[in-house]
Amino acid sequence: MKKLLLLTIFIIFNTSFAQEYKLGKVTIEELKETEHNVEKEAIACRLFSKGKTYMAYSDDKGFELVTEVENKIKIYKKEGFSYADFAISIYQGGSDRETVSFSDATTYNLVDGKIEKTKLKSDGEFTEKTSKYYQMKKITMPNVKVGSIIEYKYIIKSPFIAQVRDWDFQDFIPVNYSQFEVRFPEYYTYNTFFKGSLNVKTTKKSIISGITISSKERSRDQSWGGVSTEFKQNKISFNENTSLYELYNVPSVKEEAFVKNINNYVTAVKHELASKQFPNEVFKLISTTWEEVSNTISASPDFGGELNKKGYFEEQINKVILGKATNDEKLNAIYTFVKDNYKWNGFYGIYTEEGLKSIYKNKTGNVADLNLLLVVFLRHAGLDAHPILISSVSNGVPLFPSRTGFNYVIAGVELNGKTVLLDATDKFAVPNVIPARALNWFGRMIFQNGGSKVIDLNPSLISKDNMILNYSITQDGKATGNVKRQATDYNAYNYRLSYGQLKKEVATEKREKSFDNIEIDNYTSENLNDLNLAVVENFDFVDDKHIEIIGDKIYFSPLLFYGLESNPFKLETRAYPIEFPFPYLDRYIVTIAIPEGYEVESIPKDESLVFGDKELVHKFIFTEEGKNLKLMLQYEVNTTILVPQNYQNLKGYFQKMVDKQSEKIVLKKK
């Protein structure tokens, strides 16, 4: 029994030692690994990720946040080489700046049975300016191969103590161990927020810590009249509150259909500065509201200050609205003018970079430049226009009010009892049809004389897509015919975005590829530049990809290349919502001519599917009229979000759709 106990203790001790998570501890066994022990298809794995954020004190800067991160990554496949590149964004605006430094960046390979180290050199570090206020610091690890292990450490120093960087426990590859620690002096209180579906182990404790404050005092010596300087050091002790967060064997994040930004649902921890109180000072509540954040942004000279400046555009805008009698006409004229004459530089932001007067002259700017300029023009025309602060899809859904919660601005006009949304960064956008990057739940409209209100960004317009397919089946197993499509609102916008600036030959080839390489001829599209009209697409086709001849019978699904071939929902379970980009209604009218010498043996039966309270509707109606077959299919999405609790039912609903659209028409020789 004693031997068994000693053996157990020995195993536990050695297992703990083997799992020591430190940089530089790379073994031959790790380098020999060819696949992850759980997720066999993983392209890479984080062997560990460790981070800690704490406060450091200096006499000249006071307290500042320091974040140290260590990563150790194993590469299993070529697709995993992307993890050899790492980038981090830092704030560089004004006198308060963040800094980042990299160290211990090494690539390990197994060469002739021995471990070979390749250290990162200076030519593997890069700096890219992404906006007036932000830089991207990047590293590219050297000598990376299948089987490599890469390690690196970085340290971020930030004067912005209210903005603790989020820690993501999950990644798109498995993570064997993820640890994050925060240590804050007792003078600061932070709220903690978790997101995602995994349970994070949390350990809290308080330790004694301290700082040394240096000072100097000048005094005049009365005996001889000279000035002397006395240097002093004052040591202050305080409690430091620590929280350690840990997760072992973290599964990779799985991408799936109908999710705008999967990072919104990755398991992570966030911290918000709630209050602070130094000895002998008044307690100060820091936690804020979106209203207060909005007011602070509005008061900035690079935001609200720019909206009040005039004298540089009036003559031009007066010409633009000349002869426009209604507010709708003025809105459309000004919106078109800005989109046609000003170019987006690709940068996001909530503040102007060079000032609106400069943008007016130079004709290019970031998101805030173009859309704040649009607001100024609309207000001059007498419209009730206001900027709307939002968080872009890529920025995620903010869990609590903060300055970084907003990173994008659009324009809004209160007109006829409704709010019209406008974004001048995209030439194909129209009122209430703004780019997908801006469709992220809610925004906040900032009023001219103070105050704000929440704006729902989810589209309410039902975008329509009407497809008319007329085709004949040939005796040698081909479908030859014509498609005429009419698309409105977001369907039209997406088409213009994909095909609006392509030459006919290029558009034809791209369309062929999108339809499983069928043959397309006489391809035309109408109303690409008249944004007030529906897009009309027309083409002839020959399709031999979706028809099968077996013996004396012909088999094919009526929708041919338009049919839904597989269920977009693959996962067994789903912990995050199902997000549709916008409400839409797709309608197909299909007419099929039967070849001479054949007759119908069987056709799919009619079916009507309804999900929930008509959030989704799928109608499939088939008729036989002499030598022709006719199908009317209508598919409706009347919502933009479904909760994950409905996932299994939704997955089943989509499978029924796939099954129905895949059912075959069977023709047989007479």
Which residue ranges does the chain devote to CATH 2.60.120.1130? 463-669
- Give the tens place of pLDDT for each residue, 341-374: 999 999 999 999 889 999 999 999 999 999 999 9
Residue 12, pLDDT above cutoff 50: no
Residue 3, pLDDT above cutoff 60: no
Contact 473, 591 (CB under 8 A): no
User: Rounded distance, CA 296 to CA 131, Å?
Assistant: 21
Tokens read off for 305: 């200050």
Contacts 24+ apart (CB under 8 A), 622-626: 622/558, 624/600
Contact 422, 371 (CB under 8 A): yes
What sign has the CA pseudo-torsion 286, 287, 290, 292? negative
Rounded mean pLDDT of 379-408? 90
| Burial (0-12, 13-18, 19+ Cβ within 10 Å), 262 | middle
Task: State whether residue 616 is helix, strand or coil.
Answer: strand
Rounded mean pLDDT of 239-255? 95
pLDDT band at 287 (very low <50, low <70, confident <90, very high): low
- Between the alpha carbon of residue 640 and those of residues 290, 453, 456, the distances in Å are 24, 22, 12
Q: What is the pLDDT of residue 147?
A: 97
- Between the alpha carbon of residue 137 and those of residues 92, 125, 157, 216, 271, the distances in Å are 11, 7, 13, 38, 23
Q: What is the pLDDT of residue 653?
A: 97
Average pLDDT, the chain: 91
Contact 71, 139 (CB under 8 A): no
**Which of 173, 129, 137, 178 shows the shortest CA–CA distance to 154?**
137
Q: What is the pLDDT of residue 134?
A: 85
CATH dotted code for 291-456: 3.10.620.30
Residue 4, pLDDT above cutoff 70: no
Task: State whether residue 343 is helix, strand or coil.
Answer: strand
Domain spanning 463-669, CATH class: mainly beta
Q: Which residues contact 506 (CB under 8 A, 6 or more apart)?
A: none
Q: What is the pLDDT of residue 234?
A: 75
- Give the tens place of pLDDT for each residue, 64-106: 999 999 999 999 999 999 999 999 999 887 778 999 999 999 9
What stretches of 196-326 adopt beta strand conformation (E)?
201-220, 227-250, 268-276, 284-285
Which residue ranges does the chain devote to CATH 3.10.620.30? 291-456
- Give the tens place of pLDDT for each residue, 197-242: 899 999 999 988 877 777 666 666 565 555 666 666 678 888 999 9
Q: Which residues contact 449 (CB under 8 A, 6 or more apart)?
A: none
Q: Which residues contact 600 (CB under 8 A, 6 or more apart)?
A: 594, 624, 629, 665, 666, 667
User: Rounded distance, CA 635 to CA 231, Å?
Assistant: 79
Question: In the beta sheet, which residues pair with residue 586?
Answer: 465, 635
Angle at Cα 519 formed by Cα 428 and Cα 485, nearest 5°? 40
pLDDT band at 652 (very low <50, low <70, confident <90, very high): very high
Q: What is the number of other CB atoms lying within 10 angstroms of the CB of residue 485?
A: 20
Q: What is the pLDDT of residue 293?
A: 86
User: Rounded distance, CA 369 to CA 352, Å?
Assistant: 5
User: Rounded distance, CA 98 to CA 148, Å?
Assistant: 32
pLDDT band at 391 (very low <50, low <70, confident <90, very high): very high
Residue 18, pLDDT above cutoff 70: no
Q: What is the pLDDT of residue 217?
A: 64
Which pTM was predicted? 0.85
User: Rounded distance, CA 666 to CA 647, Å?
Assistant: 34
- Give the tens place of pLDDT for each residue, 610-639: 999 999 999 999 999 888 999 999 999 999
Q: What is the pLDDT of residue 88?
A: 95
**Which of 452, 302, 326, 312 shows the shortest CA–CA distance to 382?**
326
Which residue ranges does the chain devote to CATH 2.60.40.3140? 42-276
Tokens read off for 382: 């007498």
Question: In the beta sheet, which residues pair with residue 411?
Answer: 387, 422
Task: State whether residue 668 is helix, strand or coil.
Answer: strand
Could you please state the CATH topology (level 3) that the domain comprising 42-276 is classified under: Immunoglobulin-like (2.60.40)
- Give the tens place of pLDDT for each residue, 417-463: 999 999 999 999 999 999 999 999 999 999 988 889 999 999 999 99
Rounded mean pLDDT of 7-21? 47
